Amino acid sequence: MKEALMGIYTLWLRDVIRFLRDKPRIVSSAAQPLLWLFVLGLGLSTAFVRGGSSQYLRFIYPGIISMSVLFTSIFSAVSIIWDREFGFLKEVLVAPIPRWSVAVGRALGGSTVAVMQGTIILLVAPLIGVKFGLVQLFFAFIIMFMIAFSMTSFGILIATRMRTHEGFQVVVNFLLLPMFFLSGAMFPTGKGLPVWMQVLVRIDPLSYGVDALRQTLVGLKVFPIWLDLGIVFCFGTVALALGVWYFERTE
């Protein structure tokens, strides 16, 4: 067990250090969500939303945080493919640590990086009139980590089945954009949607993460908080279990 914990810690630390040393990555990853928030958010609010742009920015703010966490989490798994191509993954897999610890370490590392990225978006809350206390902030970090861990595990599951990073990019983009747009990050998911879209919204695991974060930060909700957290947790657990299973089968 000691070897497993050391392996998890080492892989976690590697991902965190690589992120902190890559300043262009930090800036570019933070710039995209901020553009969505201030450029697209303000544009849509003035064109379609009644009651002022500030209300719409408050509504999409938790969704933009979730978007930042989602994209960072999923794409952190692409490093598995790079490690496979350059031989680092083979060295890790033959190390005297259980293979499941490799998947867990990568999931925790990607989750930590994604939460760091989401924290940058949290800092702009005063600019759009969103106020929350320390208790709300604490629960927001927990929800962000749960979303990040679930999505990183999902990314790892995909990466274990891919042999090239080009294939990974295609598959992830095919899944990522529908997950984001159907999550309710940019529009309400209550009454008024077509039935087929309501079905897609409810089978999208990110919908529940966005809803939980929106409840915590701005007090708006669609589902009970226990349902939101339960589905995000179950999705992450299943994705990680499958990722570990595929790692065990990796040659």
Model confidence pLDDT, tens digit, residues 169-192: 787 778 888 888 888 888 887 667
Q: What angle do CA 147, 148, 153 make, to 5 degrees?
A: 105
Helices (H) and strands (E) in the chain, counts: 12, 0
* pLDDT confidence band for 141 (50 / 70 / 90): very high
Total residue count of the chain as it appears in this document: 251
**How far apart, in whole angstroms, are the C-alpha atoms of residue 182 and residue 207?**
7
Question: Which residue, 140, 129, 153, 135, is CA-closest to 212?
Answer: 140
The pTM assigned to this predicted structure is 0.89
For residue 192, count other CB atoms closer than 10 A to its CB: 9
Nearest 5°: phi and psi at 5?
-65, -40
**How far apart, in whole angstroms, are the C-alpha atoms of residue 180 and residue 177?**
5
Residues with Cβ < 8 Å from 101, sequence gap 6 or more? 3, 4, 5, 7, 8, 11
Here the tokens at position 179 are 């997950």
Q: What is the mean pLDDT of residues 139-148?
A: 93
If you search the block for the tokens 């090239």, which residue do you land on?
164
pLDDT digits (tens, 9 = 90+) for 27-51: 877 777 888 777 777 776 665 555 5
Q: At what angle do helices 165-181 and 53-76 cross, to 10 degrees?
A: 150
Nearest 5°: phi and psi at 221?
-150, 160
Computed on alpha carbons and rounded to an integer, the radius of gyration of the chain in Å comes to 18
**Residue 177, amino acid:** L
